[in-house]
Amino acid sequence: MNTSSPQLLRLHEADNVLTVLSTLEPGDALHLGQTVLTVGKRLPIGHKVAARPIAAGEKICKYGVPIGSAVCAIAEGEHVHTHNIKSDYLPTFERENQHSYFQPTP
């Protein structure tokens, strides 16, 4: 395991996202190498932040392999989640869009 900081875990050198190792609350300092940012929204354990600025359409890389694509530009340190990345295979289902999923086909 190659830990880039005690807060964040880099699983592979090619990765452009880092995993949050313990839940970070708003106002906590977020250490990204030399850069220190402030946590805006809560970042629960296991969630990801951008290791560097990521362009719209760029592959998101974790474990050294693509896990999806950015749907918009993502800033360094920003939460990388279902709102700004998408699968290259199958759409991701969340409870919020459950209603549309179960809507009867016209």
* Nearer to other proteins (CB atom), residue 36 or residue 45: 45
* Nearer to other proteins (CB atom), residue 52 or residue 81: 81
* Nearer to other proteins (CB atom), residue 34 or residue 100: 100
* Nearer to other proteins (CB atom), residue 34 or residue 105: 105
Instruction: Supply the minimum distance, in Å, between the C-beta of residue 102 and other proteins.
Output: 11
Residue 37 CA to residue 10 CA, distance in Å, equals 17
- Binding residues for other proteins, rule: CB under 8 A, are 1, 9, 11, 19-23, 44-48, 60, 62-63, 65-68, 80-82, 85-95, 98, 101
Instruction: Supply the minimum distance, in Å, between the C-beta of residue 17 and other proteins.
Output: 9
Q: Which residues pair with 17 in a beta bridge?
A: 50
Instruction: Supply the minimum distance, in Å, between the C-beta of residue 53 and other proteins.
Output: 18
Instruction: Supply the minimum distance, in Å, between the C-beta of residue 16 and other proteins.
Output: 13
Residue 11 CA to residue 3 CA, distance in Å, equals 8
- 90-95: list long-range contacts, CB under 8 Å, 24+ apart: none
Residue 90 CA to residue 10 CA, distance in Å, equals 25
Task: Name every residue whose Cβ is closer than 8 Å to that of residue 25 and which is 6 or more positions away in sequence.
Answer: 39, 42
